[in-house]
A and B are shown apart, each in its own frame.
Chain A
Amino acid sequence: MQASIETRDLTRRFGSFIAVDRLTLRVERGEVFGFLGANGAGKTTAIRMLCGLLQPSSGTGKVAGCDIQTETDGIRSRIGYMPQKFALYPDFSVEMNMRLYGGLYGLKGQALRDRMDVISRLLNLEPLLSQRTDSIPWGWQQRLNLACAILHKPEILFLDEPTASVDPVSRRHFWDIIAELAASGTTIFVTSHYMDEVEYCGRVAILVQGRIAALDTPVGLKTTYGHASLGEVFLDVVERAQTTSSTQ
């Protein structure tokens, strides 16, 4: 079966700085994949390449069956992206924001209304539809962000530190929905530097200085490195990778 995301030696240089270094990975359909790294490890650059916003310096990749260099239009209509910072229109009502994003993805008429109904029910946004977006609490704004990212039934959903500043109850609810989406075949690609976010992932890649330093299930990682928490694993992996690179 074709992978949802597949890259080979994906590299991006900015001048002499190598932001992403020969990234090779394969994410299956319906998988919840964690992409873990410190600030500056190359997460954002990698994501931007996968979303077709940035051309790689070398290497190849396919996202949702589309080439990341030549078929960026195809990629953008097949993925959803939820930024860590709220990026919707505060002066619009909840409903207007949803209608706008549905429209940008080509949804219209009855199909758009049906889809908005389904999503607002799924995310419990129904009572808030007519409210101005800047008047609802942060946790709900985050849900609206998610709603706008999945209206068009994306094949892959990119989440950037999705629950970094959300209370534990909302977080739990959020990940329940993510699990539901994954079960229905949506691939989830989560980037974060918060350990408790990637606990929910099927597999986790740890990125250090643009390279994948470790890749396994959360349980596998803990066993391999002999630590009780992913946080300790992360620190261990980063330390080892840095020692190797400095002895080279």
Chain B
Amino acid sequence: MKASLRRILVAGHKEFLHIIRDPQTLAIVILMPVIMMFLYGYALNSDIHNAQLLVEAPVPSAASRALTSRLNASTFFSVPGSIPASADPLQPFRSGQARALLRLPPDFEASLRRPGGAALQVIVDGSDPSVGSRMRGAVEGAVQKTLMDYLDIEPPHILDQRAVVLYNPEQRSAMFFVPGLMAVILLMISALLTSIAITREKETGTMGQLLITPLRPGEIIAGKLLPYVVLASLDGLLILIVGRLIFGVQVAGNLFFLAICSLIYVFTALSIGLLVSTIAKRQHHAMMMALGATMMPTVILSGFIFPISSMPLFLQVIAHIVPATYYLQIVRGIILKGVGLRELWQPLLILGFEGLLLFGLSIRKFRIKL
């Protein structure tokens, strides 16, 4: 037992040396999570911010000027001033100058005070559906509010609707993607890097040489996986720290519980990496397989970006096989909602079960290959 543990540690130390001596792997481990956080945090942001909005006012008036300056003051839009009526109102969209166009009638000022009200037209670039629909809502809401203020009238009291937004009241996308990135990064370290590392040993023949030493197959696997568990843990921590310091995402729930759940997820991901490495003959096979079988479904199907409930049934079925789907429920539950085992036992159980299943399968395949 003690000798076995020592051999695992020797093999684990060896793997660790490989990693720190390879700048490429090191870069993936340290820089990748940080780069991905900044990319998702800043570039892939569907919050509307400074969208180009044109206001077409054929006859400028006090009302149109008030509207223009109020819209420009909002962080949603950037309004370069009002433009005269044009024969081709769609031209700014084709040239990419505008994401939205608000068209006012020539008698805007007067029609505001007429019974029946003013007729406005909002034209929105809908090529990005989610941005399009958000922009339409934002323009309509802002116009309504600005004109009410301008005319100094109260909205009619028919209903008193109040919304309470839970967990992420400011609706910041960082709150959503930081936990999501945990799922992607941990998977990448655990499944992608291990499958490549094991396949590399098979390719160079060093695996055969290890098998002839007193190292048992199980010890080789354990030694191989050990450093990646450590790396994945460090990356999980790194994401939480960057998320906290740069994106202001605080963990509402129990950190210790989060760590345990993450380790179970890492175990599942390592099993996938192991399984890939028993099938792949070359490093690039392993990489393609790991990317195709794990990264793509995780990014697209797990609910990391797109809600699972909006997917067609067929994809929903696949989504419910992807381990990251369950980890995302868990990690968002802990970080955003601050819930614990009582609420999350179900996804945790499924995740653990998937891990054991995949691990058993890959060990079996690994044995047969010897």
Q: Which of B17-25, B75-83, B173-181, B282-290 lies at the interface?
A: B17-25
Determine if A196 is an interface residue (Cβ-Cβ < 8 Å): no
Of the candidates B18, B21, B204, B210, which one forms a contact with A104 in the assembled complex, judged by CB atoms under 8 Å apart? B210
Q: Are B10 and A87 in contact (CB under 8 A)?
A: no
Q: Which residues of A contact B11 (CB under 8 A)?
A: 104
Q: Give Cα A81 to B209, complex, Å.
A: 8
Q: Are A104 and B214 in contact (CB under 8 A)?
A: yes
Residues of chain B contacted by A51 (CB below 8 angstroms): 212
**Size bracket of the B interface:** 20 to 34
Report the separation of the CA atoms of residues A91 and B18 in the bound assembly, to the nearest whole angstrom: 7
B206 near A89 with CB under 8 A, answer yes
Which B residue's beta carbon lies closest to that of A90? B204
- Which parts of A62-100 form the interface with B (CB within 8 Å)? 73, 76-77, 79, 81, 83, 85-92, 96, 100
Whether the pair A89, B18 counts as a contact (CB closer than 8 A) is yes
- Tell me the smallest distance from the CB of A158 to a CB of chain B, in Å: 8
| Chain B residues, CB < 8 A from A231 | none
Given contacts A73-B214, A100-B14, contact A88 B6 (CB under 8 A): no
A163: min CB distance to chain B, Å: 18
State in angstroms the CA–CA spacing of A105 and B213 once bound together.
7
Is A53 in contact with chain B by the CB < 8 A criterion? yes
Indicate whether A101 reaches chain B with its CB closer than 8 angstroms.
yes
Is A106 in contact with chain B by the CB < 8 A criterion? yes
With A and B bound together, what is the CA distance between A97 and B211 in angstroms? 16
**From A88, which residue of chain B is reached at the shortest CB distance?**
B206
Closest to B204 in A: A87
Flag whether A103 is at the interface (Cβ < 8 A).
yes
Tell yes or no: B3 within 8 A of A by CB: yes
Chain A residue contacts of B17, Cβ below 8 A: 92, 96
What is the bound-complex CA distance between A108 and B2, given in angstroms? 14
Query: How far is it, in angstroms, between the C-alpha of A106 and the C-alpha of B10 when the chains are bound?
Result: 9
Within 8 Å CB of B210, what residues of A?
104
Q: How far is the CB of A156 from chain B (nearest CB, A)?
A: 12
Give the residues in chain B near A86, CB-CB below 8 Å: 205
Is A106's CB under 8 angstroms from B3's CB?
yes
8 A Cβ contacts from B184-220 to A:
204-206, 208-216
Interface residue? B151 (CB, 8 A): no
- B contact residues around A105 at 8 Å (CB): 213-214
The answer to whether B7 touches A87 (Cβ under 8 A) is no
Residues of A within 8 Å of B3, CB to CB, are: 106
Contact pick for B21, options A91, A100, A101, CB 8 Å: A91
Rounded to whole Å, the gap between the CB of A69 and the closest CB of chain B is 15
Contact B214 A106 (CB under 8 A): yes
Contacts of B211 in A (CB 8 A): 53
- Cross-chain contact B6 with A73 (CB below 8 angstroms): no
- Does B370 lie at the interface of the complex (its beta carbon under 8 Å from any beta carbon of A)? yes
Cβ contact within 8 Å between A83 and B208: yes
Mark each residue of chain A from 130 to 173: 1 if its CB lies under 8 Å from any CB of chain B, else 0.
00000000000000000000000000000000000000000000
CA distance A106 to B370 in the complex (A): 23
Q: Is the CB of A103 within 8 A of B212?
A: no
Given the contacts A85-B205, A87-B206, A92-B17, A101 and B213 also touching, CB distance less than 8 Å: yes
Which residues of B come within 8 Å of A, CB atoms?
A: 3, 6-7, 10-11, 13-14, 17-18, 21-22, 204-206, 208-216, 370
Write the residues of chain A forming the contact surface with B, with a CB cutoff of 8 angstroms: 51, 53, 73, 76-77, 79, 81, 83, 85-92, 96, 100-101, 103-106, 108
Interface contacts beyond A87-B204, A88-B206: sample of 13 additional A-B pairs, CB < 8 Å, sorted by A: A73-B216, A85-B205, A87-B205, A87-B208, A87-B209, A89-B14, A91-B21, A92-B17, A100-B10, A104-B210, A105-B214, A106-B7, A108-B6
Q: 4 closest Cβ contacts across the A-B interface?
A: A103-B10, A87-B209, A87-B205, A104-B213
